[in-house]
Structures are given as C-alpha cells and as structure tokens.
Amino acid sequence: MFTVKKKKALNNYVAINLAIMAIIAAVSSTYAIAGTKNSAPIKGELTRFKPALSIINAPDTPFTDGYGQKLTLKNYRGQMILVNFWATWCAPCIKEMPSLERLQNKFKGTTLKVLAISVDHGGWTKINPFVKRMNLNNLSVFHDVSSKLMFRLKVKGLPTTILFDHQGIELGRLTGPAEWDSDEVTTLIQHHLSRQTFKR
C-alpha cells in the first residue's frame, strides 16, 4: 500500500536527487567557463602550436653559451622561456630568426626570455659568423652540443620552438617556421605571462 509516509519519503528522495543534479550541473558549467577563460588563444598560423597534454618538465641537459659556459634550462627558472632549436643550414630557421629577435625586443622588461639554441655540428665556428651576418644583437644564442637537449625533448624537426612556463613546465610547441612577432604570438605570450606565478 502506498501510504502518505511512503509518498513523503519518495518526494524527499526525488528532491535530494534533483538538488544533487543541480549542483553537478552548476559545477560542470563553472569548470567549462573557467576552461574557456583559461585556455590560450590559438589562431592563425598558431593553429600548428600544440599545447602540452601532460606535464613535461624542462630537462637538465646542458648546452653552452658563446664563452663555453654550460647552462641548463633550469638556469632560467622564474622566467617564461621560448626555446627555439635551429641550425645555420636550415632555410626556414634562417627566415624566422629575425622575428625571434623582434619578439624578444617586444617583450623587453618582462619575464619572457627567447633562447635560440643551435644544433650545428660545427659549433661556434658556424654560429658566430651567422649571428654577426644576421645582426642578431639582442637574441640569446646557444649551442646544443651533440644535439643532446634536442633529443631529450624529442624534437623531430627544425625549426622547433617550445614554450616553457616559469616553473619549467612545457606549455606547448610548434614544429616549423613562424612569424614570432605576429599579433597571434603576442597574444599567446601575453596570455601566459598574465597567468604565471613563480613559486620557489
């Protein structure tokens, strides 16, 4: 027999489940909106920029500066770094190099640092004349000895450019050339810079 008591219990059960469903819907909506706001703007030629789908930390594989000093990406912890792998014999690399310097100039005074890391087997005997010829005065250029860093980061072609956050975690990468001082790239960099909080 369906008594008043049972009817009241059923109504309470339905009410509780409806409340739970409403809460789940509200939370899902909140996360969906947050995801839309937090996602990086990807458009134009940056459709080739592939966001990292898992946590990839910057490795401690050393590379060298023009004085032979060994550095790692961890030396730049606390800065957002755009790491560009290139070579003097790579035509697309050569074409995009000036735009990398213009990007660095555009973000002067911020925590963005552009690192142009050559994988030339000839090392600095190849790199230095190229840098001088290209008049790259404000771009930080390095050498990846034996291409160890490139292989560690599973770079599959040149040029490849990888963006790391202030914690040294990969945000994404782009394989192939790009105009790095374009409005699309500027918007992408500004988006990530505005979201970074460095924690020691």
Measured at the CA of 37, the angle between CA 35 and CA 43, to 5 degrees, comes to 100
Q: Which two tokens stand for residue 2?
A: 């369906």
**Are the CB atoms for 119 and 150 separated by under 8 Å?**
yes
pLDDT of residue 8: 57
Residue 83 to residues 36, 98, 142, 174: CA-CA distances in angstroms? 27, 15, 10, 10
Q: Beta-carbon neighbour count of residue 46 at 10 Å?
A: 18
**141/105 Cα distance (integer angstroms):** 14
Residue 126 CB partners (closer than 8 Å, separation 6+): 88, 118, 120
Buried b (16+ CB within 10 A) or exposed e, 4-35: eeeeeeeeeeeeeeeeeeeeeeeeeeeeeeee
pLDDT of residue 198: 53
**Are the CB atoms for 117 and 142 separated by under 8 Å?**
yes
Average pLDDT per block of 10 residues along the chain, 200 residues long:
52 52 40 44 84 95 97 97 98 98 97 98 97 97 97 97 97 97 96 74
Strands 140-143 and 112-118, sheet pairing: parallel
Question: Which H helix or E strand runs over 187?
Answer: helix 183-195
- The model's pTM: 0.79
